Structure 1
Amino acid sequence: MAKAERLDLIAIGRSCVDLYGEQTGGRLEDMLSFAKYIGGSPTNTAVGASRLGLRTGLLTRVGEDHFGRFIREQLVREGVDTRGVVPDPERLTALAFLGIRDPDTFPLLFYRENCADMALVADDVDPALVASARAVLINGTHLSQPGVFAASLRACELARAAGGKVVFDIDYRPVLWGLTGKDAGENRFVADAGVTARLQQVLPLCDLIVGTEEEVHILGGSTDTIAALRAIRERSPALLVCKRGAQGCSAFPGEIPDSLDEGVVGRGFAVEVFNVLGAGDAFMAGFLRGWLREAPLAQCCEWANACGAIVVSRHGCSPAMPTWEELQAFLHGGERPYRLREDRALEHLHWASTRVGAYPSLTVLAMDHRSQFEALCERTGAAPERIAAFKSLAVRAVDRVAGGDPGFGVLLDGRFGMRALETAAAYPYWIGRPIELPGSRPLEFESSPDVATELLTWPASHVVKCLALYHPDDPPELRERQERQLLRLQDAARKTRHELLVEIIASRGGAVDEDTAARAIRRLYQLGMRPDWWKLEPDGRAATWRNIEAAILEHDPHCRGVVLLGMSAPPDELVASFAAAAQSPIVKGFAVGRTIFADTAEQWLRGAIDDDAAIDDLARRFSVLVEAWRDAKRRAQTQAIRETA
């Protein structure tokens, strides 16, 4: 293997798909649906530490199956190095079914019979990769079988030989050692001398050992926590950290005192316990963020406690992990509600700082029109069934121009564009999809009246686009009705984990000046709207865009940005409007439709051109606008440099 990039941490062991019951307060038997996340203690910690700014990697096996691919893709999205993730064609990726019944009961069912990650062997451990890391993290579950025990031991020995540290997460699950029935996955402790003996074999190699009191008991061979810690200390000089739930933690760099309270502690945080699953992995991520950067021990404990408190308040394990920015806001942002998940500012920061991908530029072919295509069919005499085929051609046209660049995208509807949406799933492009009933004012939603139920049927990659014919000076009753709909939609989008693009067209509701769009945006922000994207009308006045940018940055500096709509403007008029918009960094590009496709679609529906000619024409027209936008941005950047020189 070539020389590996330097990492802070390589986590070794369990990697699975967590299927989390979406209903709470009942038995796992009564769950109706499950959310899919990546999981497994070391995988969660690798994700959590990456979000906190550490360079992390994972050493494990996953099945060469759909779930294994999901794990690898999600790890890449999270910034976790996957060079040590070995695809196993003989075994399936492990699964875990989890539920939230009450504050003390969290049913957990492991599907790990002959699973991929438990087939990890010593030969899977690449010496160069391990030597590239400042620390390796092993866990107790992967000491339960000879093959994975050998792999963990090999990684520890290689790390120590290269001058790295060894971190041991005791991670005791009695069911995974065959000590309980398979339906008792949530059971945290069963005393067993054989398990204690096996775990203790790695103690001389460890620099940091972390566990709950129950886990300290199994490692130390005693249900007296102080006695267990002293037994561990006899076998290892490692820093010992005992997690104590709501009481935080106690760290012991040297001799073990007579009381846990005499250890080094960090500030604790009182929050409502919603879900304990994953909190320990977040604790480890927070502690390692400090420990590997040589922060004071009390600060390591505080960061660990804070990360655990944040995750214990949320649904899921890996997706609940805080980012570094979020952790700092939690620590320094003043009072927080006891039910932490009701902290809207923190939850928005979590959402905004964990979104996947960056978009310095976004140019989109908008093909989500429905009524306009129906009108074209009436004019040309074409069957409406043909619309779907034309929209699929548009995806091929975008790909011809984009060449795999994820800064391109398509807007497609589910009524006529479903086949095109299915085709677009194979490409790396941004995908937007409309939810509004075309032309509705006040705003209504297409398909199900219950917008959340509708969004549950959409893939996670689809950005929800909603056009509102909204003017800040609309009559109060109309305006407030539309605002309620937008707030309902945002709530649904967040709960179904979809990004949201809000398109505002004010010009159909009244006069528009250089402050109209900014006033509309401000009002919606003040009501609690925080869309990921705005889509706004073109405007040739630079002041308009300065006002819009100021409104967005004042209320949501994490907003992804603005894209321009076309309003069926002739290409030369639209290009002329780019000059003013391009001066604003918040404007990332455009999402234009009829300016590009109207003539091409009409010719194709009349049978005047074939598929290849239609793709050629769409690609040509789209390219003209793309190049015009890029040129406008270049000129704006050059001007800005000159003005600051």
Structure 2
Amino acid sequence: MSRHLADLPRRRLMLAFDHRGLFNQLVRESGFTELQPHGAVVHCKRLLLQAALRVAEAPGPELQAPPHHFGVFIDEQYGAMHAWIARDHGLTLAMPVEQSDSAAFHLEFGSRFGEHLAHFMPDYAKVLVHYDSSSRLTEDELVALRTVSEWCQRSATTEFLFELLLSAPEPPAGHPPATAAAAEQQRLGHTVAAIEWLYRQGIEPTVWKVEGGFDRAGFAALADTARSGGRDHVSLIVLGGGRSLRDAAESIRAAAEVEGFIGFAVGRTIWSDPLRSRLSGLQDDEETVQQIADRYTRLVRAYLEGEATRVGQVALS
């Protein structure tokens, strides 16, 4: 039976700029002096929000989708005002609860993280976790993650989004590095194992934000794992990981062909070069916003192309 695109489950086509240390580094390296560093970061994030709204509110005939299918990842430190504006315009909003630029997972506001989430009422509370398959996570990290997971389960407004970044394992002593194909299979296997292990620890996200670069079969394996054990309500989105725009688009298109993948959350790939040009004085605000909007649109289009392929496959089955 055929299904119209409008009847598909929710999409999450998201521009991520909840980074903090990375923006400070960007401002510092550019030599930008029009504003103080804090103000410069706030200004950058204002441009990013403008770009997201430009795509969401005037997406063009080939990108027709309601505003809540588009969204942003925004932090409280530099983007509190932007978060309110995004909500007022109907964008999906995700906000981080982890301490910035920490290898270990710590809650930014400690036990008061829930008060901050309740103030903004984002659609997603996001955690970023660096996972090493050899050492996994400490008990303190697991306790903090379970706390967020349980808080979101009780919340009527905010779901739990888990961004999983894996540390690449070192090859055994005396063994040559793996080929690219073998390394991809190893990374896929480690990702599957990490999700399974986290489930056993009582961590229950609604959405997994996972690394890209896999083929369709690889993304299908991730979706099967994330939605195992009766978790049909769980979805996945793809992160950018600093890939080129072309590579990110290919990865997003492949993921979109798989049931369970509802979108992407990409940051640096979209905005790093345009913001560097703006901070270096090579272009103005309007040029920067339009470049970011164009790059964001390219990834939205890639997802919709992959989604259309999946819908066509369903219609033929």
Q: CA deviation at 1:575?
A: 1.6
Counterpart contact for 2:253–2:302, Cα < 8 Å: no
Structure 1 residues 400-458: Cα deviation after superposition (integer angstroms, max 9, x where no partner): 11125210001111111122112212111100011111232321122x22144543553
Matched letter for residue 304 of structure 2? R
Structure 1 residues 156-203: Cα deviation after superposition (integer angstroms, max 9, x where no partner): xxxxxxxxxxxxxxxxxxxxxxxxxxxxxxxxxxxxxxxxxxxxxxxx
Q: Say whether residues 1:501 and 2:161 are aligned partners.
A: yes
Q: Give matches, 1:197-596, under 5 Å.
A: 359-382=9-32, 383-384=36-37, 385-403=39-57, 404-446=66-108, 448-455=109-116, 457-471=118-132, 473-475=133-135, 478-497=137-156, 498-508=158-168, 512-596=186-270
The alpha-carbon distance between structure 1 residues 452 and 376, as it changes in their structure 2 partners (threshold 3 A), is: closer
Distance 1:612 1:503 in 2: 31
Q: CA deviation at 1:508?
A: 4.6
Distance 1:639 1:558 in 2: 20
Matched letter for residue 493 of structure 1? C
Matched letter for residue 423 of structure 1? I
Alignment partner of 2:309 out of 616, 622, 635: 635
SS, match of residue 212 in structure 2:
coil
Q: CA deviation at 1:514?
A: 2.6
Q: CA deviation at 1:562?
A: 0.7
Distance 2:263 2:114 in 1: 31
Counterpart contact for 2:250–2:302, Cα < 8 Å: no
The structure whose residues are more often helix, as a share, is: 2
Counterpart contact for 2:163–2:210, Cα < 8 Å: yes
Matched letter for residue 466 of structure 1? V
Q: Taking structure 2 as the reference length, what is the TM-score of the superposition?
A: 0.81
The alpha-carbon distance between structure 1 residues 639 and 599, as it changes in their structure 2 partners (threshold 3 A), is: same
SS, match of residue 625 in structure 1:
helix
**Where does structure 1 differ by over 6 angstroms across 4 or more consecutive aligned residues?**
none
Structure 1 residues 127-166: Cα deviation after superposition (integer angstroms, max 9, x where no partner): xxxxxxxxxxxxxxxxxxxxxxxxxxxxxxxxxxxxxxxx
Distance 1:400 1:592 in 2: 17
Q: RMSD across aligned C-alpha pairs, in angstroms? A: 2.2
The alpha-carbon distance between structure 1 residues 480 and 580, as it changes in their structure 2 partners (threshold 3 A), is: farther
SS, match of residue 271 in structure 2:
helix
Matched letter for residue 413 of structure 1? D
Unaligned runs of 5+ residues in structure 2 are: 1-7, 58-65, 171-182
Distance 1:564 1:628 in 2: 12
Q: How many residues align?
A: 283
Distance 1:405 1:562 in 2: 19
SS, match of residue 67 in structure 2:
coil
Alignment partner of 1:609 out of 269, 283, 297: 283
SS, match of residue 513 in structure 1:
helix
SS, match of residue 438 in structure 1:
coil
Counterpart contact for 1:409–1:429, Cα < 8 Å: yes
Q: CA deviation at 1:605?
A: 1.7
Q: Taking structure 1 as the reference length, what is the TM-score of the superposition?
A: 0.41
| Higher RCO (Cα < 8 Å, 6 or more apart) | 2
Distance 1:614 1:390 in 2: 10
Q: Say whether residues 1:623 and 2:283 are aligned partners.
A: no
Matched letter for residue 296 of structure 2? F
SS, match of residue 76 in structure 2:
coil
The alpha-carbon distance between structure 1 residues 579 and 614, as it changes in their structure 2 partners (threshold 3 A), is: closer
Unaligned runs of 5+ residues in structure 1 are: 1-357
Distance 1:479 1:551 in 2: 23
* Identical aligned residues as a percent: 26
Q: Give matches, 1:5-24, under 5 Å.
A: none
Q: CA deviation at 1:558?
A: 4.2
Distance 2:25 2:254 in 1: 33
Matched letter for residue 375 of structure 1? Q
Distance 2:17 2:117 in 1: 22
Distance 2:22 2:48 in 1: 16
| Rg (Cα) greater in structure | 1
